[in-house]
Structure 1
Amino acid sequence: MSVGGPRYRWIILGIATFAQAASAFFVQGIGAMGIHLQRDLNLSTSQLGLLLSAAQLVPLIGLLVAGELLDRYNERWVVGVGACVVAAGLSMGSMAPGYLSLLLVLLIVGAGYSTVQPGGSKSVASWFGASQRGFAMGVRQAGLPLGGALSAALLPFLAETFGWRVTLVAGGLVALLGAGVFMGLYRQPPTPPVLHDRPPHASLTSRLGARLRMLRQPSMVKIMLSGTTLISVQSGVLVLTVLYLHDTTSVGAGSAALILVAAQVAGVAGRICLAAWSDRGADRHPTVMACMAAVIAGMTALMTPAGQSPLVACLLFTWLGFFGFGWYGPWVAYVAESAPPAKTGFALGLAMAVNQIAVILAPPALGLLTDLTGSFTPAWGLLSAMTAVALTATARAERLSTGRKRRHETASL
């Protein structure tokens, strides 16, 4: 397989997926370590949620910066340097004296992590055509739950055996390996695709105006509605699953972590299968809407008495893993294809930055709601209601968009 040849795209897909999994290894594993962190650092559920949000705070701005850099520079260095920052931050975190210091270190980790998501997505979009882009994007986005599944399996063991500081060192080494692999093997496609065009020179004012106009596009409205609600569900599953199983269904900490692993493995399968399914249609967004409906059904079932059964809860979290994590594959492909010419990197960064608002707010809010009520039901109910409202609004926007398109086609005949 020649470097830079058409078949090299599968190598690109592999290293982009590996870099995503490696960078997400520790960040996605914080929820699985919840019991150990609460014990060792004497944390409440809301403090644990804030710890999960700390690594996601800087990307609120960092994703926009990363998107702009990706439209101007080679993904190889933007992603690689970002993964190195993740590794350096986690290594520093192993020396943090306590909770507040760990929060500050995770802010640094978030700065590096900002480049990996949009950078890996753009590299895959650049190498794959529309007929395979959904499947390829789904495989690449499977790196997030894959890294989470591996960390959920390994980090609780490391934390129990060696302490939480060793888990940060392990996360830093994995991130460094991901950076080295991506920088060593990534190459740009042999022919510049439309998605990889360099933006034309323009004034700062005109560039800012073009960015703001992007927010008014109907496709971007659907992207933001579906993305923010489903990423909230994903955050809720990550931070609350182990605690719910331990407190409500009396499952042991080790077994609860394994169920979270199963949910994230289901998410890996979901991102690939659902994205491949989206390749079959003319529009990828109905696949995302189907995920929203499935999430509502799963959350509603979790709030019934049957949801307190260990077996039923395990099946429901696996269901929520498949759809509550799997939506991201077709969603990212939809974002890439909806982007204006020469603005793919910024569109990905913008959409992911909007998601970051929910990523930051959801874990501590859900944790605080659980602490105040002494029950997980209000948290599941809030997520279900948010998703239902977003699904209704998105479906209405879809109908209006379809109606306008048909009227336009009729008028042009």
Structure 2
Amino acid sequence: MTPSPRPWAMLAAMVLAQASTTVVAAAPAFLIPHLLAERGLSLVAAGMLAGAPNLGLVLTLVLWGAATDRFGERRVILVGLALTVAAVAGSMSAREPAVLGAALALSGAVSACTNSASGRLITGWFPAQRRGLAMGIRQTCQPLGMAVAALGVPPLAEAFGVPGALALGGALSALSLVVCALVVRDPDRAPRPGAAGGVPGAGSPYRGSLTLVRIHAASVLLVVPQFALSTFGLVWFTVGFGWSAFAAGALVAVAQFAGAAGRILVGVWSDRAASRLRPLRLVAVAGVFAMLACGALGWAEWGAAAALAYVVASCISVADNGLAFTAVAELSGPAWAGRALGIQNTGQFLAAAAVGPVVGGLIGVAGIPAALALLALTPALAVPLVPGPAAERARD
């Protein structure tokens, strides 16, 4: 069965909304060279500012997910995007590092509205045999948002400073607010007995099973290389290989576009395999070798080869997100999907918030190539945590 045009239109609106909030969260990472050169911050301090939006995200993701389960996707998305526009406007006026960090954290906190709501919306509108493809397309929002930030933030920072660079995410969020108001509608769901507006299957999917917990834990580990590559890729090629900020930003953008395509391909793969977890495990294995290749080529100082390895590693590092996200939504059921997706993203963004200062400090001690090689440990640890196919058969 092929979905009607309405779900595809809402999917497009969700990609725009999630990509816009991704730009809001990602913009500080691409301000790191500007913060080092113009404001005299250390790499650790700049990394903390880069991680501030992700810290805000982790504080509110479950709350936004619970609100989605209670009030529906449309309301949460519209209210959250409006608050995001206001928060970005506030962050543009911040000058002191501490104030800027707090403002960026607030921007991240309200931008989290789209994470669970968009995933729950797509799960509700698309049938299982098309859900991997649809969620793969939805998951392109993160690399597309990163690509937009990589291309837009550095030149805007050069021309207009930090406020002008932050304005990019605010403008895109305002645009997505208008589009979502016109397009997004909640999917029809049968009411849960005894609870107005609810859905069937109210029991907690965490009770009596570790399946979701294992997926959450594996996803936390797999997100570390993703954010390390996106956060410090610009620094690696500008400082380590002497590339211009524009050339390094273009490379990061290419890597993000490749990652977007990879998410769609693995989504189609999971539909055809009728499994999200088997492809997820193979992606984790590939991540180990990709990070080791980046470290080795960085040590050898082979710029062109390192750039190619960076693109491949970036593509692999984002490929797992759609698989895990879809698996969590399907295994948790519609009554718990918002909260379960919120928990899923909370762990990921908590790890992402730590990547800036922790990996920044590791780079300061060991250098970028050694840090990338050491980060191969995280996908290696994730491999045995991914549940086996029996977990999906038990759901069915």
Match among 232, 235, 238 for residue 243 of structure 1: 235
Shift of the alpha carbon at 1:321?
A: 2.0
Pairs aligned (count): 386
Query: What does residue 75 of structure 1 align with?
Result: 73
Task: In structure 2, list runs of 5 or more residues that go unmatched.
Answer: 197-201
Q: Note if contact 2:143-2:256 (Cα within 8 Å) is conserved in structure 1.
A: yes
What is the CA–CA distance in structure 1 between the aligned matches of 2:19 and 2:224, rounded to whole Å? 20
1:233 and 2:231 equivalent?
A: no
Q: What is the CA distance between 1:215 and its match in structure 2?
A: 7.0
Q: What is the aligned partner in structure 2 of residue 255 from structure 1?
A: 247
CA distance 1:210–1:28, shift in 2 (3 Å): same
- Is the contact between residue 215 and residue 385 of structure 2 (CA under 8 Å) also seen in structure 1? no
Q: CA deviation at 1:98?
A: 2.1
CA contact 1:23–1:175 (8 Å) conserved in 2: yes
Aligned-residue offset at 1:37: 2.1
Secondary structure of the 1:95 match is coil
Q: Distance in 2 between matches of 1:341 and 1:87?
A: 29
Q: Distance in 2 between matches of 1:160 and 1:217?
A: 51
- Taking the aligned partners of 1:128 and 1:281, their CA distance within structure 2 comes to 17
Q: Aligned partner of 2:354: which letter?
A: L
Residue matched to 2:311: 318
Instruction: Call closer, same or farther: CA 1:95–1:388 in 2, change over 3 Å.
Output: same
| DSSP-derived class of the 1:154 partner | helix
Within 5 Å, give how 1:10-409 maps onto structure 2.
10-189=8-187, 191-192=188-189, 201=195, 211=204, 214=206, 217-305=209-297, 308-373=301-366, 375-394=367-386, 397-398=387-388, 401=390
Aligned-partner SS, 1:362: helix
Q: Deviations over 1:336-365 (max 9, x none)?
A: 111145111111111111222211212210
Aligned to 2:199: none
CA RMSD of aligned residues (A): 2.3
Q: 1:56-83: CA deviations, max 9, x gaps?
A: 1132231111111111112112012112
Shift of 1:31: 2.4
CA distance in 2, matches of 1:12, 1:64: 23
**In structure 2, what residue type is equivalent to 1:297?**
F
> Which deviates the most, 133-142 or 383-392?
383-392
User: So what's the TM-score if we normalise by structure 1?
Assistant: 0.87
8 Å contact kept, 1:134–1:275: yes
Which runs of no fewer than 5 residues in structure 1 stay unpaired? Answer: 203-208, 407-413
CA distance in 1 between partners of 2:329 and 2:360 (Å)? 33
Q: Give the counterpart letter for 2:355 in structure 1.
A: A
Residues 235 and 200 (structure 1), Cα distance of their counterparts in 2 relative to 1, 3 Å cut: farther
Q: Is the 8 A contact 2:33 2:235 kept in 1?
A: yes
Q: 2:318 and 2:193 mapped to 1: Cα distance?
A: 32
Whole-Å Cα distance in 2 between the matches of residues 103 and 198 of structure 1? Answer: 42
1:393 Cα deviation after fit = 3.8
Matched residue type, 1:391 = V
Structure 1 segments of 4+ aligned residues over 6 angstroms from their partners = none
TM-score, structure 2 normalization: 0.91
**Per-residue deviation, 1:144:** 1.3
Contact conserved, 1:269 with 1:326, CA < 8 A, in 2? no
3-state SS of 2:29 partner: coil
Moved more, 66-75 or 126-135: 66-75
Change (3 A) 1:215 1:64: farther
Q: Secondary structure at the match of 1:139?
A: helix
Q: Is the 8 A contact 2:295 2:369 kept in 1?
A: yes
